[in-house]
Amino acid sequence: MLLAEKLARWTHKLKYSDLTKDAIHETKRRFIDSLGTALGAYRSKPATIARATAETVPFPRNGSAIVGTLSRTTPDLAAFANGAAIRYLDYNDTYLSKEPAHPSDNIAATLAVAQAANRSGRDLILATVIAYEIQCRLCDAASLRAHGWDHVTYGAFSSTLGAAKLWGLTPEQMVHAQGLAGVCNIATRQTRTGQISMWKACAFSNAARNAVFAANLARQGFTGPHEIFEGPKGVFKMLTQCRFDVKLGSKSAGYMINKTYIKYWPAEYHAQSSIDAALQIRRQFLKDGYSWKDIKKLDMESFEAAVSIIGSEPEKWRPTSRETADHSMGYMTVAALIDGDVTRDTFSPKKFTSRKYLDLLDNTTIVEAADLNRGYPDGIPNRLRLRMKDGKVYEKTVKYPRGHAGNPMSDQEVETKFRTLADGVISRKLQDQLLGQMWSLDRSKDSRKLWSFKV
């Protein structure tokens, strides 16, 4: 059986009754978290441009909501606009394995198609669990990053199958949809290399847009390239340089959505544990009567993925854009030590270009450590060693930062994060209404009302 056939058959067969209570509950939490990150980014330039682009194509009948507006557009453009908003702050959820990913990026696609197809909340939950499962299982199977390709390439498959489930495609149509989405949505890792641009916010939302487009073509009978994984010019030969199979979830084994992580801080995920460690050290040195001005040197030990992605390039030591600053492990850790937190304000140009932070960054090192490499991807272990000017040394290692599947956030913490991001964008009354909608998603008969409101 071809891999695309296996994924299609599993997707087609899976029913809502096959889901675990944990997977259903976690899906609701991810909708809350994703709407929060979208609202937090509502006024950002990438989200504003993407929203305006979608609004140029009004589609009031059977259209999909553009978050924060009463406008509706085609499902592919809604997936693009909403996905850009969800992703921009780098605050949406994460999964780390052979390939890293932000699986809540799929939500923009599943929500858009659920609304276009007039599906229920349960249908939307099922499709979202499917998309999470497929993306995370592909990430477990083989690295794209190692060969210069971007993780959103796997998202073209996961979003396609989530959309295909909602549109009721046959297994054969789902295979064609994967071919249509996979053959022309191969993204290079340049998105996340050097000084990082606005495109980081849109790389997956573009894959989601094209995935929705592919599923829509396939449901009308359009055929796609055969053997998208196994073919002589397919994924295995050209992208991963290895063949692989995947395991898929079940009610007895559970689903991957429960193994993914919600971000506690608005920072690239590999730095979450270094931020956590920095804040713990800071509390200790303040208790001992020191201030950040007493710091002489910061030495950081980490694992290959973190060093490679957010700790090695010269641009990460002198960020000139918000997108680069939130991919600089050194800068974010220094900011945590100095300010006592990492927030959206941490990534303002006034801060990441300030000598206060850059001087300590100049006295910071980041290196790989063999024991920390062994601890990844089960955890994201980072070790900090802080030397004060009088010779005092503080050391802390964190493997499971708050929000990790090994140290999950509570429902209350998820709500608090949502409200923090939504404050100043929408009223508390509307926040209450939206939270009520998402906590009762499994009882909703009409997904078209979700995320349709005026900021």
Report the C-alpha gap between 344 and 348 in whole angstroms: 8
Q: What pLDDT sits at residue 21?
A: 98
**For residue 202, what pLDDT band results from cuts at 50, 70 and 90?**
very high
What is the mean predicted confidence (pLDDT) over 227-231?
A: 98
What is the mean predicted confidence (pLDDT) over 370-387?
A: 96
Q: Concatenated DSSP letters for 232-286?
A: TTSHIIIIISS-------BTTTB-GGGGSB--SSSS-GGGHHHHHHHHHHHHHHH
Q: What pLDDT sits at residue 33?
A: 98
Q: What pLDDT sits at residue 222?
A: 98
Q: Is the pLDDT of residue 60 over 90?
A: no
Q: Where are the domains of the chain?
A: 3-264+411-449, 269-398
Structure-token match 């990082």, residue found: 196
What is the mean predicted confidence (pLDDT) over 346-351?
A: 96
Give residue-wise pLDDT tens across range 399-410: 999 999 999 999
Give residue-wise pLDDT tens across range 294-309: 999 999 999 999 999 9
- Judge whether 369 and 303 are in contact, CB under 8 Å: yes
Q: Is the pLDDT of residue 260 over 90?
A: yes
State both tokens at 166. Answer: 């909602």
CA distances from 168 to 13, 233, 330, 432 (A): 11, 29, 47, 33
Domain 3-264+411-449 fold: 2-methylcitrate dehydratase PrpD (1.10.4100)
Q: What pLDDT sits at residue 61?
A: 85
Q: Is the pLDDT of residue 107 over 90?
A: yes
H/E element holding 65? Answer: strand 64-65
Q: What pLDDT sits at residue 62?
A: 87
**Radius of gyration of the CA atoms of the chain, in A:** 22
Give residue-wise pLDDT tens across range 187-201: 999 999 999 999 999
Helix (H, G, I), strand (E, B) or coil at 397: strand
Q: Which amino acid is present at 200?
A: K
* CATH entry, 269-398, from 2.60.120.200, 3.40.50.620, 3.30.1330.120, 3.30.420.40: 3.30.1330.120
Give residue-wise pLDDT tens across range 306-345: 999 999 999 999 999 999 999 999 999 999 999 999 999 9
Instruction: Determine phi and psi for 132, rounding to 5 degrees.
Output: -60, -45
Give residue-wise pLDDT tens across range 155-172: 999 999 999 999 999 999
Q: Is the pLDDT of residue 384 over 90?
A: yes
- Whole-number mean pLDDT of the chain? 97
Residues in CB range of 444: below 8 A, 6 or more apart = 120, 121, 122, 437, 450
- Judge whether 102 and 86 are in contact, CB under 8 Å: no
